[in-house]
Structure 1
Amino acid sequence: MKATFFITYIMVDGWAGVAAEILRLKPLILYHIKNSFFVKTEKDREEAMDPGTLGFNTGEPQIQLYFLLGLVYASITPILLPFILVFFALAYIVYRHQVKLKIFGTYAHC
């Protein structure tokens, strides 16, 4: 019975949070506003394309929480483990994509 809450929590907060991280709506909206009103040179365009940081200070504790949930509930209710594994698979793909964009130039040369 306790596992249903955590399964729902993982699906709603974890999976939806990972999906929201791939969208990154705030940097996208700010880019279009800056591009429409403030960009005059190529240097301004490069500065407008900077998406900012990945938010490690908020993302890492969330990943640790899901790891702890998986570790604690693995022996109590193993039905939770597939949901945790899907979260980690999605988070790995999303954060790998975000780090590549940050390292190799954010959306530059597209």
Structure 2
Amino acid sequence: MKATFFMTYIMVDGWAGIANEILRVKPLVIYHLKNMFIVKTERDREKAMDPGSIGLAENLPSLQLYFLLGLVYAVVTPILLPFIIIFFAFAFLVYRHQIINVYNQEYESAAELFF
């Protein structure tokens, strides 16, 4: 009975969250609003287009929850495993694309400690 709840949870929250990450509707709307009202110079436009970072503090706990659900329910109800595997496959592809092509690749230390 609980497996159906978690399958639905993974499909609704997990798969929809991944789709939301690839579409990035909220930052797109915010960019256009800033572009209409705030942007006056080219420097303002670059600042409005800044995608920011990946937000690891918001994304990592949900990924850990899905991993934990996969571990626990692999033994109890193995029917949940395909949904978890599909989620992690989509998440890998989407976050790989977002990190490589969308988000800033700037880090604070820039590995200065080791050089």
- 1:75 matches 2:57: no
What is the match of residue 103 of structure 2?
102
- 1:27 matches 2:27: yes
Number of positions where the alignment pairs a residue of Structure 1 with one of Structure 2: 105
What is the match of residue 57 of structure 1?
57
| Displacement of 1:103 | 3.6
- TM-score norm. by structure 1 comes to 0.86
What is the match of residue 107 of structure 1?
none
Report the Cα distance in structure 2 between the residues aligned to 1:35 and 1:103, rounded to whole angstroms: 20
Name the amino acid aligned to 1:11: M
Report the Cα distance in structure 2 between the residues aligned to 1:50 and 1:32, rounded to whole angstroms: 12
Whether the aligned pair in 1 keeps the contact of 2:39 and 2:45 (CA below 8 Å) is yes
| Displacement of 1:2 | 2.1
- TM-score norm. by structure 2 comes to 0.83
What is the match of residue 111 of structure 2?
none
Name the amino acid aligned to 1:13: D
Unaligned stretches of 5+ residues in structure 1:
105-110
Whether the aligned pair in 2 keeps the contact of 1:27 and 1:52 (CA below 8 Å) is no
Superposed CA offset, 1:2-60 (max 9, x none)? 21111111101111111111122221111101111222222111111012232211110
RMSD between aligned residues? 1.6
Report the Cα distance in structure 1 between the residues aligned to 2:104 and 2:17, rounded to whole angstroms: 22
SS in 1 for 2:68: helix
Report the Cα distance in structure 1 between the residues aligned to 2:81 and 2:71, rounded to whole angstroms: 9
What is the match of residue 14 of structure 2?
14
What is the match of residue 66 of structure 1?
66
Report the Cα distance in structure 2 between the residues aligned to 1:45 and 1:103, rounded to whole angstroms: 16
Unaligned stretches of 5+ residues in structure 2:
106-115
